[in-house]
Amino acid sequence: MWSPPKALPLLNVAHRQIGTSGDHFQIFLSGGERRRLSFATELLSDPDLFFCDEVTSGLDSYSTLNLISTMKQMATDHQKTIICAIHQPSSEILLGIKGERLMS
């Protein structure tokens, strides 16, 4: 049985303080932090089907590859279905999903 919280460290959001700036606590998340946090919270409900629209938009290369790797692991190891819309994917993203079904 897949345990969603175990997948969270793969996204580098577990045990990480976000939303602070300088000496003042502010409720502020960057676009990439919001995307990673949104995806991580969806994992908690353990759905069988994920619809992801522009899930890599606003992420740096490292976070993008980490997220693609996590999604691939979810699909292959945990039989999750993942449908993504990714515009202008980089070659690294395409290599990360090699062997999966791509549609244009």
Q: What is the pLDDT of residues 62-88, one digit of tens each?
A: 888 888 888 888 888 888 888 888 776
Tell me which amino acid residue 50 is.
F
Cα distance between residue 66 and residue 64, in whole Å: 5
62 forms beta bridges with none
pTM for the whole structure: 0.59
Task: Report the pLDDT value the prediction gives residue 43, as an integer from 0 to 100.
Answer: 80
What ranges do the domains of the chain cover? 4-96
Task: Report the pLDDT value the prediction gives residue 13, as an integer from 0 to 100.
Answer: 52
Cα distance between residue 67 and residue 97, in whole Å: 11
Class of domain 4-96 as given by CATH: alpha beta
